[in-house]
Structure 1
């Protein structure tokens, strides 16, 4: 066996290579299975053109009745298509008639002959299900797969077999046990929205990232986003635990947090709409001349810049200079893993030191999997920390006001500690016709902290917090008096389970 047999062959698709830890084994044989429309043909052609771009030779063989002209007309709209690569780098062969007239034996001989004549080192066989239907018995089909394995090894030719499958088809067939790898492409409906997923069921000769991964079919072809919590299971570099304290841009909030934020830390700011969470984020981004990044799910960049200018916040100049950039990602059609990877790319390429994510709730809506958010955001926050970035994120609560005597009831505290070293809560307190705003730092890891509510206002200069707790104490006492409730000690105030108080919108 040649030494090249144990080398990895890149697919040329960055996210897929990441999942496969470098690619597939050269000279191996692989099955890509999926329902009609999952993207198998686009993937197969993409593998061919990527391989040709690196100097290889690829042969795309179809066992289907669709003409090459029709298929090429479809893929010619994709950016990876290169007409100049045909036929020297990428060639096509229709073996439909050969299979119909000569059966599997004739097909095997034709493939052997073409591989030798064209000197190809990548073969895509589209329509394996047709070969299976032609086989008289399961044994004959197994023999066909075995012959392909022999040819792949002798010719040092990697083979990818594309086949259709029913949505509920299992993976116990003989061919699945014989091949070196098995990848499934699938689509699923989440509400009225269709999402594409990729899963590697098997991969001999190396590790791979397990589980479901998102992918898209774009004008660039197949774009794969590895599952972020698996991709970042271990931070890319050691996490620094020291460094100077950072200001939030609001001196009184720094005081509530015991002196400010530790560099590399993560802070969660919770509160209802209109409480000033986004404004705190703008204060934070403008507190120092450092590369920053603002991820918004609701407000577009123009509205964000207008707000900063109207409040005369320092971040307005950083927006104009480009030192702080804005990513606007409407959550209606976004893919969670793609957004996370885009954030990481920005942090790495620009050396971002301050990150503000306005709307952790939108990540929940984007995935549709609440159980996934905690581990995924923990992994993302750990990687930001490893890269030297400090993160502030907002979490929207509903409009339920403070319960008299129990000012922390309804906050989704449990389970947030792995994500955030610091937690700040913003609450509304209604007294008669007046609505008061209160803020408290519930957690500040490694800082001396005495949690105390303070009253604050949203003014023409942004968030302004009172210097002491006097007014906040009077408001809370008046709530107790009007409600006829006995005040609960701060340390024993009840918390609800780790879930949003409302629907998070």
Structure 2
């Protein structure tokens, strides 16, 4: 196994199964504004030390002083390392009166001066585009690759490459690793992704991985995958009550531990109150519970609990009932999953409510990816014995016809459908459509919401 270099970005290390292989050449590509330089400097400063110095070569895309000024905006930038273990040089200035074919010799001279373990050239594409024709470019690239390999360093070439250049430009032929940073915009929403286009001699997590940019740098959220199932895995033979006694009577005394229940219905039908019952019962059973919400913020949710006669402060104070709120405006699927499972594992969470999966669906750029995400999410809950209840809002008020079109209902173990009667008093209704591996009463029942919560009145 080749030695792996940690990147200073835990998500990227996970995607690359441990980090960047040592003594390799990486091309870090993407359009302007995708975060290439931020990631490059994050890798540089996380690895820089007197024993492993970094040589960072700016070219003709930005002046060197501007380069350094931008880097200082981020927490990973350590000014004490500049000039001691991170050395910046202006390669564009050095080449101003020289031929591009001298680049390998210039780099060799800098190697002798600094003895770096890491070399970054940013932007290599801007340099090559300005000084090279096709023939010169190939010659310079191969000579540079030879020089970098001879000095046994880990190199990253940053550039504003487009996807159609990956099969034509020589830098992609000599690269051991190609990382692509992408940015998609739909209406007012903007999402960023990283892909591993090439990784020679190693494996990685394929597909597009979401990332965000903050003052801490780049944070990558590896794509949620279906969990590996151990050969001796056996689901727990244990029932979990819903917190609504009359509902448990209709589903063989509760849900299976590790199962996922979808509660679907129109606005105002009682979905959120049902999941609050589910979590409150878990907390009363001394289980750790997590509410993941995208509509009601924590203050609004506390008000709902108070209206039901529950002491929300007491529920939240002992840590058994946690709230995780994300605004649906700037949300991304895999960032939600990363935070969710971080909390699940840290707090040994046993019950999770997601309110509502429709918000997750709207933030997904791809319907197929959303379906894969929900499937993986349900499987992870099963493997970790986390019992989940999700809500889904339906547009139809009375006669529900399209429940199977949402890419969620078929993956849930249990399906509860809420609605209204087409009568003057518009009574709320509940019907159990599916309970996998359990008996069920699938008749239409009346559901009432009182100042003490939900009451299901089974039909006689």
Q: TM-score, normalised by structure 1?
A: 0.85
User: Do residues 244 (structure 1) and 259 (structure 2) align?
Assistant: no
Residue 31 of structure 1: which of 27, 31, 37 is its match? Answer: 27
Matched with 2:355 is: 358
Q: Write out per-residue CA displacement over residues 278-300 of structure 1, whole angstroms, 9 at most, x where no aligned residue.
A: 11111111112211100110001
- Worse-matched range after superposition: 232-241 or 366-375: 232-241
Cα deviation for residue 55 of structure 1 reads 5.6
Cα distance between partner residues in 1 of 2:414 and 2:22: 49
Residue 386 of structure 2: which of 374, 384, 389 is its match? Answer: 389
Residue 210 of structure 1: which of 185, 199, 206 is its match? Answer: 206
Matched with 1:97 is: 93
Q: Write out per-residue CA displacement over residues 340-367 of structure 1, whole angstroms, 9 at most, x where no aligned residue.
A: 1100100011100110001000001111
Cα distance between partner residues in 1 of 2:260 and 2:405: 15
The runs of 5 or more residues in structure 2 that have no matched partner are none
Cα distance between partner residues in 2 of 1:252 and 1:127: 66
Residue 89 of structure 2: SS of its match in structure 1?
A: strand
Cα distance between partner residues in 1 of 2:230 and 2:75: 31
Q: TM-score, normalised by structure 2?
A: 0.94
Cα distance between partner residues in 1 of 2:354 and 2:278: 11
Cα deviation for residue 239 of structure 1 reads 5.0
Residue 442 of structure 2: which of 445, 451, 466 is its match? Answer: 451
Cα distance between partner residues in 2 of 1:317 and 1:116: 65
Cα deviation for residue 189 of structure 1 reads 1.3
Cα distance between partner residues in 2 of 1:137 and 1:13: 36
Matched with 1:419 is: 411
The structure with the largest alpha-carbon Rg is: 1
The runs of 5 or more residues in structure 1 that have no matched partner are 403-407, 471-505
User: Do residues 434 (structure 1) and 425 (structure 2) align?
Assistant: yes
Cα distance between partner residues in 2 of 1:35 and 1:201: 15
User: Do residues 10 (structure 1) and 1 (structure 2) align?
Assistant: no
Distance 1:235 1:114, change over 3 A: farther
Matched with 2:459 is: 469
User: Do residues 157 (structure 1) and 148 (structure 2) align?
Assistant: no
Counterparts of 1:92-491 in structure 2 under 5 Å? 92-166=88-162, 169=165, 171-229=167-225, 232-234=226-228, 239-287=233-281, 288-313=285-310, 317-402=314-399, 408-412=400-404, 416=408, 419-431=411-423, 433-466=424-457, 468-470=458-460
Counterparts of 1:46-57 in structure 2 under 5 Å? 46-52=42-48, 56-57=52-53
Residue 125 of structure 1: SS of its match in structure 2?
A: strand
**Cα contact 1:256–1:440 (8 A) shared by 2:** no
Distance 1:176 1:65, change over 3 A: closer
Distance 1:206 1:263, change over 3 A: same
Q: Write out per-residue CA displacement over residues 33-55 of structure 1, whole angstroms, 9 at most, x where no aligned residue.
A: 11111111111111110111696
**Cα contact 1:216–1:224 (8 A) shared by 2:** yes
Aligned length: 457
Q: Write out per-residue CA displacement over residues 398-436 of structure 1, whole angstroms, 9 at most, x where no aligned residue.
A: 14313xxxxx533336854552111111111121x2101
Output the aligned Cα RMSD: 2.2
Residue 110 of structure 2: SS of its match in structure 1?
A: helix
Cα distance between partner residues in 1 of 2:333 and 2:169: 33
Cα distance between partner residues in 2 of 1:413 and 1:73: 51
**Cα contact 1:318–1:324 (8 A) shared by 2:** yes
Cα deviation for residue 210 of structure 1 reads 1.6
Cα distance between partner residues in 2 of 1:45 and 1:99: 23
